């Protein structure tokens, strides 16, 4: 069974709908015991880092999430659920889960397209290319450079770590739009809202 972590931060229902469409059995839950026992865990999220971490503390989910990641069992973070894996977020000056080295920073207010100097909107809302480094089962059958759907004003800035493979995207600057390390996978984009490629990525994770 796949546990989709529900901590009041948004898009768990759309993730469940995508997995149901793919034929995978999943459950939306805030039960730390179920998160610990599940075969796979998906940690989605939208909204602000400070409120999300407060909700995780209130629901007593922090320990279960940290233990799950430390055990190197299949885990997928999505959007805010990707950002919260890092040590610190400058959004609300928030101490996060600390599972990945690095911090989460905001796009500059004067963000511009590299090629032509065109002003870019923050948050980034819409489709953008994702480049994959090397090969990995998570993106089997997906060509590097395919487009996925983003909604975010902040992005992670990982520190170099052994065994970490990054995905990259350009939006005024080149940023880490995802990471894989062991059984931990995480992405800034929303695979559940990214059409055929996003469904393929979710299916790869579930298999």
- State the DSSP code for 190: B
Of 6, 40, 36, 38, whose CA–CA distance to 22 is shortest? 40
What is the CA 197 to chain-centroid distance, rounded?
A: 15
Q: Are 174 and 127 in contact (CB under 8 A)?
A: no
Output phi, psi for 128, to 5 deg: -155, 160
| CB count in 10 Å sphere of residue 25 | 10
Catalytic residue among 79, 96, 187, 206: 79
Report the number of secondary-structure helices (H) and strands (E) in the chain: 6, 13
Is 21 annotated in the active site?
A: no
Confirm whether 206 is a catalytic residue. no
Q: Which of 185, 187, 192, 206 is catalytic?
A: 192
Catalytic residue at 190? yes
Which one of the listed residues 185, 187, 190, 206 is annotated catalytic?
Answer: 190
CA distance 132 to 142: 9
Q: Which residue do the tokens 């768990």 mark? A: 12
The residues carrying an active-site annotation are: 79, 190, 192
């Amino acid at each position: 069974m796949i546990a989709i972590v529900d901590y009041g931060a948004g898009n768990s229902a759309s993730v469940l709908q995508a997995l149901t469409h793919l034929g995978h059995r999943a459950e939306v839950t805030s039960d730390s015991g179920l998160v610990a026992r599940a075969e796979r865990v998906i940690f989605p999220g939208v909204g602000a880092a400070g409120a999300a971490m407060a909700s995780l503390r209130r629901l007593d989910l922090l320990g279960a999430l940290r233990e799950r990641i430390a055990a190197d069992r299949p885990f997928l973070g999505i959007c805010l659920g990707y950002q919260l894996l890092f040590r610190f977020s400058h959004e609300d000056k928030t101490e996060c889960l600390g599972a990945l080295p690095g911090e989460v920073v905001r796009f500059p207010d004067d963000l511009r397209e590299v090629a032509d100097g065109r002003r870019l909107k923050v948050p980034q809302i819409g489709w953008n290319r994702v480049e994959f480094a090397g090969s990995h089962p998570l993106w089997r059958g997906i060509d590097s450079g395919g487009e996925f759907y983003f909604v975010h004003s902040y992005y992670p800035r990982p520190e170099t770590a052994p065994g970490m493979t990054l995905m990259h995207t350009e939006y005024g600057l080149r940023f880490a739009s995802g990471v894989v390390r062991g059984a931990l996978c995480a992405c800034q984009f929303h695979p559940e809202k990214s059409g055929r490629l996003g469904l393929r990525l979710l299916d790869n994770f579930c298999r």
